[in-house]
Amino acid sequence: MDEKLKNADYDADKEDKDDVKNGVGEGQLTFMLVLCTATVSIGSSGEFGYNQGVITAPSVFIQAFINETYFERSGGKQLNDEALTWLWATVVSIYCIGGALGALAGGYWADYFGRNRGLIYNNFISIVGSLLMGCCQIAGSPEMIIIGRFVIGFSVGMSLTIVPLYLSEIAPFNLRGAITTTHQLLITIGLLLAQVLGFFAFYDESTWPIVLGLSAVTGLIEFIVLPFCPESPRWLLIKQNQEEKAIAALRLLRGVDDVVAEVDEMKLEHQHEDETEKVGVLDLLCLRDRTWLMPLLICVVLHGGQQLSGINAIIFYSTELYQSAGMTDSQIAYATVGFGTLNVIVTIISVLVVERLGRRPLLLYPFGMLSVCLVGLTVSLALQEENDWTKWMGLGFIYLYIIFFAIGPAPLPYVVSTEVWSQGPRPAAVSISIQVNWWANFLVQLSFPSIQGAIDEYTFIIFIVFVVLTTLFIYIYLPETKNRSFDEIVTGFRIKGKNKENVEHEIEDRYKAQSLANDDEKNGNDVEMRYSYVNRGQQTDE
């Protein structure tokens, strides 16, 4: 990888910077932008976080319900422990399988229906899944829990693909990172809500079906409010060629009538995007365009690294550490809620600082610190039989781990995976990214108990290896994407064989061509001639 992408040190040309200052890149938080962000984040992202955590607290009651139902159906026979364990594992893991399949469909869904309508139609699926789980006890059917978990998993798998697309495409450049990071913020809030409600369900057996079905409420809210929100202007203009609708959507989102500069920037991306018509998952995996390799690697490594950093293993192991430290069940419940609260607070900080510090530092340094935390946790676990205080040291490293994870590795893979692509391949690329995330999550959940049984206190050494490799990849290959247009970021990958000066000249040519073309459109001249020289860099690169 050449130096400009390695260090992310190339600058946009002066004309580009002037354009950003004059409105191409800058924007403010408007009522409509906040409404769109809040609606999809609460209705889809929050729903994902909620369903991630809601199954844990009532697990004892759900397993008892499965056993009782089998007892009634079989005429007095009891399920053996092995069968019950297998059924419970199915309830938990079927959610990940549904999520992976939903992520596979999400890119096609978002391109066919649009980002806004795609999420509206997806609400039908999520509400059905929630109601299946919520009504299982009344119907006396444990199968409804399994089917409901699969359906809700499929729904959130699609929403995890569509929401980052929608948020990144409606946000102005200077707010894109913060707006897209709210996706992760609402995931953590949904998880915290599940932990709090699960705490009450733990003490009241009758409430667990209500807790399982409660996510239908957020889906219903999104279904009602989202029709009043505009569609993604980029999807309207670049994918649908509906310029008037794109302008109307931009005016609603920006709160101003003058959106010419931003429309011109989207036209520029459209003009130089050769693959906007049809780019599927297989096209990307087969690298139909060789310039897709590095963006695809960035997405796969960031999303895979997020899960293979061991976050779910940390959460699982924290309960054992609480118990070994002598905590009662109620104290563990409070500690778990505190765990979730810390996660939310640090994610809020990430939303506030991501546009100031940038994506690269918030991924590089926190990933590096995760390896330090995992080393400290491994040492404390290895010494806990000899010294009681090492148990508390282990808990300290777990809380430090959560802080560093929530500030960057948790939210920013969703941000970066939307920023390193042009409009054509972006949905398929995000779909692949989310699938990697789901399957890595599934792999950790499936293998962690066996690994723990085999090497016990040294379990986290495996995760240290993945974290170190991810950190090295970020250091070498990840460019900074803060305050850059999608077209500018993609240009950096496309002309990676040129030096810094040629990068700047290429970007300058693009913006000059767009400016001249705008003048020609006004004067009725031949626009195509103006664009003919802009592709010279691409042709020599090919």
pLDDT tens digits, 356-367: 999 999 999 999
Spatial distance between the Cα atoms of 327 and 324, rounded to a whole number of angstroms? 7
Do residues 412 and 305 touch, judged by C-beta distance below 8 A? Answer: no
Spatial distance between the Cα atoms of 354 and 356, rounded to a whole number of angstroms? 5
Quick one: pLDDT band at residue 512, thresholds 50, 70, 90? low
Closest CA to 367 of 478, 212, 485, 528: 478
Provide CB contacts within 8 A for 50, sequence distance 6+: 190, 191, 193, 194, 214, 215, 218
CA angle 15, 18, 19 (to 5 degrees): 90
Lowest mean pLDDT among 6-10, 65-69, 339-343: 6-10
pLDDT at 541: 41
> Is the per-residue pLDDT at 311 higher than 50?
yes
Average pLDDT, the chain: 83
Could you give the domains of the chain? 3-229+283-488 (1.20.1250.20), 498-541 (no CATH)
- The three-class DSSP label of residue 171 is coil
Quick one: pLDDT band at residue 120, thresholds 50, 70, 90? very high
pLDDT at 273: 62
Average pLDDT for 163-175: 93
Do residues 125 and 105 touch, judged by C-beta distance below 8 A? Answer: no
pLDDT at 519: 58
Residues 479-502: tens digit of each pLDDT: 999 888 888 888 888 766 444 445
- The three-class DSSP label of residue 69 is helix
Widest distance between CA atoms in the chain: 87
- Helix, strand, coil shares of the chain, percent, nearest 5, are 80, 0, 20
pLDDT at 493: 81
- Please give, one letter per residue, the 3-state secondary structure of 371-406: HHHHHHHHHHHHHCCCCCHHHHHHHHHHHHHHHHHH
Which H/E stretch holds residue 474? helix 461-477
- The three-class DSSP label of residue 24 is helix
Quick one: pLDDT band at residue 526, thresholds 50, 70, 90? very low
Spatial distance between the Cα atoms of 180 and 169, rounded to a whole number of angstroms? 9
Spatial distance between the Cα atoms of 359 and 129, rounded to a whole number of angstroms? 35
Backbone angles phi, psi at 501, to 5 degrees: -65, -40
- Please give, one letter per residue, the 3-state secondary structure of 345-371: HHHHHHHHHHHHHCHHHHHHHHHHHHH
Do residues 374 and 313 touch, judged by C-beta distance below 8 A? Answer: no
Phi-psi region of 479 (alpha: psi -120 to 50; beta: other; left: phi over 0): beta
Quick one: pLDDT band at residue 393, thresholds 50, 70, 90? confident
Residues 180-232: tens digit of each pLDDT: 999 999 999 999 998 888 777 766 777 889 999 999 999 999 999 999 999 99
Quick one: pLDDT band at residue 15, thresholds 50, 70, 90? very low
Does pTM surpass 0.85? no
Spatial distance between the Cα atoms of 287 and 445, rounded to a whole number of angstroms? 31
